[in-house]
Amino acid sequence: MRPGAAWGGGSLVRAAHTGLSWGVTLALFLHRTDLRKQEEHGELLQPLIFVLLVLCSVLLYFVVSLMDPGFIESDEEEKVGMNEEQRVMMPQFPSNVWLRRCGYCMLKQPMRAKHCQLCRHCVRRYDHHCPWIENCVGERNHPLFIVYLAVQLVVLLWSFHVAWSGLYFEQSWEWLQHNIFLLLSFLVIAIFTIVVLLLLVSHLYLVSCNTTTWEFMSHHRISYLRHCESENPFDQGVILNLWRFFCACRLVTWEKIYFQEDSDPV
């Protein structure tokens, strides 16, 4: 990803994420929570693991936010590195499947790619543009995006338990003064837990079907899906879909899977 595009519009969002993460963590340690009590008694294992998990989630956030999601910089044959034999064996598209050059980038779009007007690039296996990471989620960073969501969910669930352990409710202004930051942290944690849980479940479902958020939401407007006899021509079974998504180290030529479901990715 180009440095200017990476930091230009997303520096404030990334700073807000970092500040919120460590601000909530600090609030959990400053109040009488289980982590604070363990720290005071010299039991440092769980507090240390918790801090390391928060650090891991922040680092994953920056990696997913700043990495190349699969930007198309040149014609796809050069990008994937197909040889002459592979190009000859590539099936031709039927006339009713309309693949075109991008009207913005003027680059040849491979199947499942889409132009993101916010990033101003075409992205391979485009899923969506995530405003929280200020980056697209595409073929290169989608697996790591799901790993980030999973780690973040663990941190949030643990934080929820810790924040609850420090709350003792009294109907007095003094109680509110002493616990206002912990109470606000608890509300923030609860909201983000629900959001991250819904995101993680929905993405795991889509990945298990080998479809994307864009394809799921715009199925009727995408030519290669609208004119296909199969509802999802890329679905090769849950196990194989998950294996190829998380374990494949190379870009996939989706055109071959579209026409020949038993083909291996190139």
Residues with catalytic function: 130
Contact 247, 144 (CB under 8 A): no
Task: Label each residue of 92-126 as H, E or C.
Answer: CCCCCCCCCECCCCCCECCCCCEEECCCCEEECCC
Give the bridge partners for 101, in sequence order.
108
- What's the token pair of residue 81? 């590195």
Integer CA distances (angstroms), 22 to 78, 135, 215, in order: 43, 22, 36
- DSSP readout, 142-175? HHHHHHHHHHHHHHHHHHHHHHHHT----SSHHH
Question: CB-based contacts of 53: which residues, under 8 Å, 6+ apart?
Answer: 151, 154, 155, 158
**CA dihedral sign, ordered 148, 151, 156, 162:** negative
Beta carbons of 89 and 255 less than 8 angstroms apart: no
Query: Tokens standing for 210?
Result: 């080998």
Return d(Cα 85, Cα 90) in angstroms, integer. Answer: 9
Q: In whole angstroms, give the CA distance from residue 232 to residue 212.
A: 11
Pair 156, 186: CB distance under 8 Å? no
d(CA 113, CA 105): 12
